[in-house]
């Protein structure tokens, strides 16, 4: 593959920051992951388009990443380019109706939640405390079991490599728990969300309740990717794993959190292989006990 050619074309390119051999542990909430051959931050649509075209021409694999809060990256890293969205994708615009927000995919979700609260807009309270970017949240349809970001979406703009911009209205794609129908080969650039005017003290109270629930039930402050498995319909993975007696089960530095059994935490020195071993063990034990084949929510990169 023409990695060298790609690097030569991209280093110094307008609106693109290119770093060679970047450790991905620096870019994941797990603080795990070897090097990516190339780490690109594209600050404009044109820069992104150019980067993708060069990578495709040079046959360098690439992947789009947000803040890496739902990613497990292999210890051997990723042979290819990791792309993140920079400045032009970090804007938020409030429409004249006062309730419709158009948000760049690079905006940090926590900032959006806070912005909405400041403007007295309700609807995003459930998302308080979810790390990552808006692009990552839309791609994952992030939220709780009952509420997710897709329900608020009016419109999504994506870049389809080789084709250009695509628009999807809410009903053009399906939205379900941690799932949506946005084609996987497209890069989410911007979304328009419909919120509603709310009472600020009530919004604040709801956000505080959500945060408190998180602090009570999740290992906040320990490196993780959040929930590792998706909850099967009508069941809680946390409860199943706990009933299997797996809380505290560990391999190397990776451990089933004693606080929340669907979190596998990095106690400081875990490798990706440690985490995978714990995931495999939990999967096997739950299958043995319940006949249920758990589906990972975490995304794997470089395996
Ligand atoms: C402590 C903790 C708590 C968490 N709690 C929750 C929770 O309550 N609910 C929940 O849903 N999740 C939760 N998560 C998981 C994670 O925060 C979400 O999945 C988040 O939305 C991921 O955003 P990100 O920007 O970090 O995406 P990344 O982890 O970087 O990427 C995730 C996926 O999205 C894709 N992606 C990212 N950006 C784009 C883009 N612009 N276009 C197309 N695809 C893209 C990536 O390719 C990858 O497949 C938690 C994680 C942690 C660490």
* Catalytic position from the list 224, 227, 255, 257: 227
- CB 176: neighbour CB atoms within 10 A? 10
Mean pLDDT in residue range 42-69: 97
Q: Are the beta carbons of 26 and 84 closer than 8 angstroms? A: no
Task: Give φ, ψ of 23 to 5 degrees.
Answer: -70, 120
Catalytic residue at 297? Answer: yes
Does the predicted model carry a pTM greater than 0.95? yes
Residues of the chain with CATH 3.90.78.10: 219-297
Mean pLDDT in residue range 24-38: 98
pLDDT at 197: 97
Q: How confident is the model at residue 12 (pLDDT cuts 50, 70, 90)?
A: confident
Q: How confident is the model at residue 74 (pLDDT cuts 50, 70, 90)?
A: very high
**Average pLDDT, rounded, for the chain:** 97
Q: How far apart are CA 72 and CA 254, in angstroms?
A: 12
Is residue 166 over pLDDT 70? Answer: yes
Is residue 1 over pLDDT 90? Answer: no
Residue of 24, 48, 66, 81 to mutate, ligand 1, most atoms within 8 A of C-beta: 66
Residues of the chain with CATH 3.30.43.10: 3-88
Is residue 174 over pLDDT 90? Answer: yes
Is residue 264 over pLDDT 70? Answer: yes
Residues of the chain with CATH 3.30.465.10: 90-202
**HEC letters along 28-90:** CCCCCCCEEEEEEEECCHHHHHHHHHHHHHCCCCEEECCCCCCEEECCCCEEEEEEEECHHHC
Task: Outline where 145-266 has alpha helix (H).
Answer: 200-217, 237-243
Residue of 108, 113, 131 to mutate, ligand 1, most atoms within 8 A of C-beta: 131
Any ligand 1 atom below 6 A from CB of 81: no
CATH architecture of the domain covering 219-297? Alpha-Beta Complex (3.90)
Q: For atom 44 of ligand 1, which residue has the closest CA?
A: 139
CATH number of the structural domain 90-202:
3.30.465.10
Is the domain defined by 3-88 classed in CATH 3.30.43.10?
Answer: yes
Catalytic residue at 31? Answer: no
Q: How far apart are CA 74 and CA 32, in angstroms?
A: 8
């Amino acid at each position: 593959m023409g990695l060298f050619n790609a690097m030569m074309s991209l280093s110094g390119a307008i609106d693109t920051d290119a770093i060679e051999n970047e450790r991905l542990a620096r870019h994941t909430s797990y603080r795990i992951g070897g090097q990516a051959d190339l780490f690109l931050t594209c600050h404009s649509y044109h820069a992104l388009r150019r980067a993708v075209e060069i990578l495709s021409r040079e046959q360098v694999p690439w992947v789009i990443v947000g803040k890496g809060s739902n990613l497990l990256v292999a210890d051997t890293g990723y042979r290819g380019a990791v792309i993140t969205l920079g400045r032009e994708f970090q804007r938020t615009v409030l429409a004249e109706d006062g309730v419709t927000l158009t948000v760049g995919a690079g905006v940090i979700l926590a900032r959006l939640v806070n912005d909405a609260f400041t403007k007295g807009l309700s609807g995003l309270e459930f998302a308080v405390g979810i790390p990552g970017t808006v692009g990552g949240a839309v791609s994952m349809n992030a939220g709780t079991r009952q509420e997710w970001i897709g329900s608020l979406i009016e419109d999504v703009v994506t870049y389809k490599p080789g084709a250009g911009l695509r628009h999807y209205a809410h009903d053009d794609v399906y939205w379900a728990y941690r799932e949506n129908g946005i084609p996987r080969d497209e890069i989410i650039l911007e979304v328009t969300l419909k919120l509603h005017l709310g009472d600020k003290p009530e919004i604040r109270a709801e956000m505080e309740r959500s945060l408190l629930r998180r602090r009570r039930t999740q290992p906040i402050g320990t490196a993780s990717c959040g929930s590792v498995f998706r909850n099967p319909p009508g069941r809680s993975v946390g409860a199943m794993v706990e009933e299997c007696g797996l809380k505290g089960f560990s391999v190397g530095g990776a451990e089933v959190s004693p606080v929340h059994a669907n979190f596998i935490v990095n106690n400081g020195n875990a490798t990706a292989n440690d985490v995978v071993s714990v995931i495999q063990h939990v999967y096997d034990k739950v299958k043995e006990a319940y006949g249920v084949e758990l589906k990972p929510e975490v995304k794997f990169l470089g395996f």
